[in-house]
Structure 1
Amino acid sequence: MQDDSVIRAAGCLLWRRSPSSIGIELALVYRPKWADWSHPKGKLKRREDARDGAVREVLEETGMTCELGPELPTVRYQVEGRPKEVRYWAAEATDGTFVPNREVSRLLWLSPAAARDQLTQDRDKDLVDVLLSTLHAAGEVL
């Protein structure tokens, strides 16, 4: 049985091979409601599988389709006094075009170092290092 007091969410550290150099770029979204830069993520719908929700949120927030890779650490924190749990995956962008929307007004593709600097929350910055280690271990060219 699921604890309804926990806000369940899912998202991705969305990446692509850098078009201008060796390495990768990460997608960051700007959410005007929270005035922050973060990884694409959002609340799961009732009975929605976290993997499906992560892919849906990436598409809704970035306009990108993606291929899910390894699961990354789950992040837990409080939002307005309630516990929130966000499950993350590494995900390679496969296609799409960003269009600003109600939730996300900007999308940036940045090097991992620049993404760390741009991210608002430390918990999101920490995930960048985990992603790089995970992709390296999986044999991705970085």
Structure 2
Amino acid sequence: MRTTEHLEENVAEGSYASVYAAGALCWRVKKKKLEVLLIHRQRYDDWSWPKGKLDKGETLPECAVREVYEEVGLPITLGIPLPSIRYAVKPGLKEVHYWASSVDDMPAMADGKEVDAVLWCSPNKARGLLSNPSDVEPLEALVAAHEAGSLSTWPLIIIRHAKAKPRSAWTRAEGERPLAATGKRQALYLQRLLMSWHPGRVYTSGWMRCISTISPYAQATKAKVKVVSWLTEADHKRQPAKVEAVLEKLMTRNSATAVCTHRPVLPTVLDTLAKHMPDDMAHSLPYLDPHLSPGEVLLVHMSQEIPGRIVALEQHKPFED
């Protein structure tokens, strides 16, 4: 399972790579054959994948989407995560995170600045053209997923609400407890992060801290929001089986969907998800309390070819002051 964090602190401390970047392997199936999109950069005279450096305050998924649009004009939605690669650069070590992205027949066009040519080709031809040998690793993962029938997916996004005011400092109804100042900033950060998958529907607990967490995204995108009482702490405590039923129904939707709920509800959510994935994947679920931090996201990639089958997981850390 891929885990991403707010990386600026890590870069400053030098605990990881010196340079972070992100991109995507755009793919399509034409005449029943898999094709991938390569770019040629005149500055380096090399063939590679669309990618670029992380901007300050940007999430890795945001960076991947932005770079693909800037370099080849494709407004992508991210699919399954692919292996990240590392290689030496002048500042030290560069780490590039990749996702697969289905683009069907959308036209790609070189930006004429960094990129002077684009090429759709077979994976075999791409192996021969790629200038950086490490770029082959995400390609092999993409091909393996295609052969396994797990490349075409849709995202189910589980969100723990952003940081709320402490229970000890709140004297009114628990369902009215609002977000703390940090939580409000986490909600804005979450708005940008979710744009990488564009969930058209959001299912949420009706308690204020959940509603406030998803409001910036819903207002920015006009996503449809449905309040589900079983996702509150109180209703889940009375009938946890109702949460399982909600999740089971959502896993049949076949379209990008987000769910916002509370820490005490997450064990039931995770147990339900575990039934739809291989055991080794289930072992990587965040079962230890608190499961997810306030504002953290667990992204589940559901197979389009095999309904109800989970083929990949991602975990995205929240914004921290």
Q: Deviations over 1:17-65 (max 9, x none)?
A: 22xx212210000011111000110001001010011011111111112
Q: How far 1:7 sits from its partner (Å)? A: 0.5
CA contact (8 A) 1:65 1:96 kept: no
**Which runs of 5 or more structure 2 residues have no equivalent in the other structure?**
1-8, 153-304, 306-321
Identity %: 37
Distance change >3 Å, CA 76–CA 139, structure 1 → 2: closer
**Higher strand content, 1 or 2:** 1
Secondary structure of 1:125's match? helix
Q: 1:80 to 1:92 in 2, by over 3 A?
A: same
- Alignment of 1:32 with 2:26, yes or no, is no
Aligned length: 139
Secondary structure of residue in 2 paired with 1:89: strand
Cα distance change, pair 81–48 in 1 and its aligned pair in 2 (3 A): closer
> In structure 1, how many angstroms separate the alpha carbons of the residues matched to 2:101 and 2:36?
10
Please tell me whether residue 114 in structure 1 is matched to residue 125 in structure 2.
yes
Q: Determine if the alignment matches structure 1 residue 103 to structure 2 residue 108.
A: no
- 1:86 is aligned to 96
Cα pair distance change 1:72/1:99, threshold 3 Å: closer
1:1-142, aligned counterparts within 5 Å?
1-4=9-12, 6-18=18-30, 21-93=31-103, 95-137=106-148, 138=150, 140=152
Which segment is superposed worse, 40-49 or 122-131? 122-131
Supply the AA of the counterpart residue of 1:11: G
Distance 1:68 1:78 in 2: 26
Query: Which residue does the alignment assign to 2:281?
Result: none
| Unaligned ranges ≥5, structure 1 | none
Letter in 2 for 1:27: L
Larger Rg: 2
SS in structure 2 opposite 1:66?
Answer: coil
CA distance in 2 between partners of 1:41 and 1:108 (Å) = 15
4+ long deviations beyond 2 Å:
94-97, 134-137
